[in-house]
A and B are shown apart, each in its own frame.
Chain A
Amino acid sequence: MTPLSGYLLVAALLFSIGLAGALTRRNAILVLIGIELMLNAANLNLIAFWRYGPHPEALTGMMFAIFSIAVAAAEAAVGLGLVIQIHRHARTTDLDKMNRMRG
C-alpha cells in the first residue's frame, strides 16, 4: 500500500463516520459535528494529494485546503447561530421533533 492510499483510506473512513453521525443523531449540534468531520476528511484528501502530487511547489492543493478551512469556519458560525435561534423558538434541538417550517 502506498502512503497516499493510506491517507485516502483514513479520509474515506472519516467521511463515512461523519456521514453516519449526521444521518443517525437526533441532536442538531451533533449533525453539525458530523458535517465538520466530513469537511475535514475532504481537507485531508486535498493535503494528501498536494503532498504526493507531481507539483507540490505550485501550492494548489494547499491553497484549496486553506480556503476550505475558512469556508468551513463560516459554515460552523452560521449553522450554530441557526441552531441557537431554533432552540429559542421551538425549545428543542431534536431534529425528529422539528417537523414544520412555520414558527
Chain B
Amino acid sequence: MSFVFYVLAALTLAGALAAVTLKNTVHCALALTVAFAGLALLYLELDAQFAGFAQILVYIGAVAILIVFAILLTKGSETPREGVYSRNSLAGLAIAASVFAVLGWAVIESARVLPNETAVPAVTVLQIGNALMGRYVLPLEIVALLLTAALIGAVIVAMHEKEETK
C-alpha cells in the first residue's frame, strides 16, 4: 500500500462525503467533482490510463456540468426550510451502515486469498482500440445505440410541452 494510494483514497472519500452532506446543492456538485477527480487519479494509480482519462472526460467534463445545469435550472441551490434530510433519513443511514458492514466484512475476510502485488499490465490504447473494434464490437454498437436513445429520450422528456402552457 503506497502513500499515494492513501492520499488519493482520502481525497476521494472526503469529496464523496462532502457531496452527500453539504447543505448548498451547488457545493455538493463541486464536491462531487473532487470525488470524480480522485477516482480518476485512483484509476491512473491502478495503471488504467485509458479508464482514468475517460473518467475525467465523461464525469468531470460532462456529468458534473450536467448536474450543475440541472441544479441551476431547478433553483435547487436554495436550502429548504425543513432541512436537507428526508423524514426517513435515520433508516437510510442504518441501511447504508449495514451494507458497508457486510461489504467490509467480506473484503477483510477474503483478504487472505486475494492476489498480492502483480506485474504492471502493459496495455496500450492501441490494444484497447483493437479490442473495441474486434472482440467487443457488438457491445460497442449497442452502447452507441443506447447513447443515441438516451440523447433523444432526454430531449423529449425535458422538452417543453406546448399544450400545457396554454
Q: Which residues of A contact B (CB under 8 A)?
A: 1-10, 12-27, 29-30, 32-34, 36-37, 40, 43-44, 47-48, 50-54, 56-57, 59, 62-63, 65-67, 69-78, 80-85, 87-88, 93-96
Contact = CB atoms under 8 A, between A and B. Distances in A.
Given A56-B121, A73-B150, 17 more contacts: A1-B111, A12-B103, A24-B20, A24-B85, A26-B85, A27-B76, A40-B35, A43-B55, A48-B46, A57-B127, A63-B132, A65-B51, A69-B55, A76-B66, A85-B157, A85-B158, A95-B86
A85 B70 CA distance: 10
Interface of B: 1, 5, 9, 12-13, 16-17, 19-21, 25, 28-29, 32, 35-36, 39, 42-43, 46-48, 50-51, 54-55, 58-59, 62-63, 66-67, 69-71, 73-76, 80, 82-89, 91-93, 95-97, 99-100, 103-104, 107-108, 110-111, 114-118, 121-123, 127-128, 131-132, 136, 139, 143, 146-147, 149-151, 153-155, 157-158, 160
B115 A54 contact: yes
Contacts of B85: 24-26
Contacts of B91: 23
Contacts of A16: 96-97, 99-100, 103
A16 to B, nearest CB: 4
A83 B157 CA distance: 10
Contacts of A21: 19-21
13 contacts: A19-B99, A23-B95, A26-B85, A29-B76, A37-B35, A44-B42, A51-B48, A56-B118, A63-B136, A80-B69, A82-B157, A84-B70, A96-B87
Chain B's interface: helix, strand, loop or mixed, by majority? helix
Contact of A77 (B5, B54, B66, B131): B66
B58 A69 contact: yes
Chain A's interface: helix, strand, loop or mixed, by majority? helix
Contacts of A88: 160
Contacts of A23: 86, 88-89, 91-93, 95-96
Instruction: Choose among A43, A51, A88 the residue with the greatest number of B CB atoms under 10 Å from its CB.
Output: A51
Contacts of B154: 77-78, 80-81
A85 B153 CA distance: 12
Contact of B42 (A7, A81, A93): A7
